[in-house]
Amino acid sequence: MKLIIVGGGGREHAIIKKLKENPAVEEIFALPGNGGMTDDAVCVDISAKDISGIAKFAKENSIDYAVVAPDDPLVLGCVDKLEDMGIPCFGPRANAAIIEGSKVFSKNLMKKYNIPTAAYEVFSDLNAALAYIETAPMPTVVKADGLALGKGVIIAQTREEAKAAVLEIMQDKKFGASGDRIVVEEFLEGPEVSVLSFTDGKTVVPMISSMDHKRAGDNDTGLNTGGMGTVAPNPYYTKEIADVCMEKIFLPTINAMNAEGRTFKGCLYFGLMLTKDGPKVIEYNCRFGDPETQVVLPLLESDLLTVMKAVTEEKLSKTEVRFSKNHACCVIMASKGYPQSYEKGFEMNIPAEISDSVYVAGALRKDGKLLTNGGRVLGATAVEETLEKAIKSAYALVDRISFENAYFRRDIGARAMKAGKE
């Protein structure tokens, strides 16, 4: 089989490595991929947002199956285009990807179908939003409606901060048209859990739970990033909580999307907060999380391509999705300065013996050398019998990798180690 995977980060590298385990897979093309994954896939210089370029490539190369991983092409209708050409795909169509593409849509969906989430108001008028902030309880959370590279969420401690956020998004258009509307919502507290799930629109199969570390600095300080590391499973996510989530969140969401005529097929990501009033949805993503995927897929014992095809063919209820009992830890190595400005072009050294445990997110191959080419450069993942060992082994991998200006958090997994002891 010939496959394409749309996207080019660490998540895509993890998906590719897992797909390759199936002997029927002859060739995987990554569009655009990156220089650090050339041992695993053929990288083709077509942007993940170039939907007609992707479609043309798929047709010319007689592609049998496509996996569309990032939010942008999903929201832009990449799956619609490929499916309409007769190419089976993993990923939601645009009318379902809106669950991530518009926060206003997802909040209204949750309200309409009684799915637990933070209380909220929607504004398309700047002055109305500013007036609301005058009386809103603080802290509050201001969110741009559309996609904003994971940066469109501002947690404001004071009214001044909240007003500044509203002005930045609605007046200065920091996130472009994504800020034409905003959601202002209640600030929730509690441990966060990421649950990725496979769904074919009929059945929903949650994957092993995970914990992201979004802030740039140790002890959850500093700016929000795309994610600086992950562990799986998430120790806060007990069997009892999982059962509540299935009944009150996962199934109601799938059913709600069906009722709206927007059947969701693919990976639906539930970003949850375990509040004292029970689990609530913080966000939906219409795709695999990054870097959650780099700990979740290494623990998947079933064949990924078989599961993905079962989703496409709506046969998920008949397919086994099994995870190992082990623990995984992924530490992201970034360029110093990320998520703000950073230098790139530094030579990377990844020993060949550990390359199976490394998912490259931002690298360029030039004159036979691998050079850093992004904010998040790579993730190093270790799988062990305990969380403690997984953390230790992940940092042992990091110690063996080098590039100038490397930055990583030293406390990935530390919060998870404390779970139940607070």
150 binds ligand AMP (CB under 6 A): yes
Alpha helix stretches (DSSP H) within 319-407: 387-400
In the complex, the smallest distance separating the C-beta of residue 215 from ligand AMP, rounded to whole angstroms, is: 9
| The one among 212, 380, 393, 415 contacting ligand GLY by CB under 6 A | 212
Only one of the segments 58-66, 182-190, 202-210, 227-235 lies at the binding site for ligand AMP (rule: CB under 6 A); that segment is: 182-190
Closest of 261, 208, 227, 262 to residue 379, by C-alpha: 227
Among 92, 146, 201, 289, binds ligand GLY (CB under 6 A): 289
Tokens of 102: 């518009």
Classify residue 78 as left (phi > 0), alpha (psi -120 to 50) or beta: alpha
**For residues 246-262, b (16+ Cβ closer than 10 Å) or e, as one string?**
eebbbebbbebbeebeb
* Stretch of 183-191, 238-246, 339-347, 411-419 contacting ligand AMP, by CB under 6 A: 183-191
Distance CA 83, CA 77 (A): 10
Candidates 14-22, 83-91, 289-297, 367-375: pick the segment binding ligand GLY (CB under 6 A): 289-297
155 binds ligand AMP (CB under 6 A): yes
- Number of helices (H), then strands (E), in the chain: 14, 23
Residue 194 buriedness (CB in 10 A; 0-12 / 13-18 / 19+): buried
Residues for the chain: how many in total? Answer: 422
Q: Which is nearer to ligand GLY, 146 or 227 (CB)?
A: 227
Residue 192 touches ligand GLY, criterion: CB under 6 A: no
β-pairing verdict for 2-7 and 27-32? parallel
Evaluate the CA torsion angle 359, 39, 47, 64 in order and state its sign.
negative
Q: Which one of ligand GLY, ligand AMP, none interacts with residue 155, CB within 5 to 8 A by kind? A: ligand AMP
* Residue 227 interacting entry, from ligand AMP, ligand GLY, none, C-beta within 5 to 8 Å by type: ligand GLY
192 is an interface residue for ligand AMP by CB under 6 A: yes
As to burial, measured by CB atoms within 10 angstroms (0-12 exposed, 13-18 middle, 19+ buried), residue 180 is: middle
Q: How far is the CB of 214 from ligand GLY (least distance, A)?
A: 7
On the CB side of 55, CA atoms within 13 Å amount to 16
Residues 193-252 that bind ligand AMP (CB under 6 A): 214
Question: Is residue 290 at the binding interface for ligand GLY, with CB under 6 A as the rule?
Answer: yes
- Of 213 and 262, nearer to ligand GLY (C-beta) is 213
Cβ proximity to ligand GLY: between 91 and 289 the closer is: 289
Q: Which of 206, 227, 235, 413 binds ligand GLY (CB under 6 A)?
A: 227
Asked if 148 interacts with ligand GLY (CB under 6 A), we say: no
How far is the C-alpha of 232 from the C-alpha of 230, rounded, in Å? 7
Would you tell me which residues interact with ligand GLY (CB under 6 A)? 150, 212, 227, 285, 289-290, 292
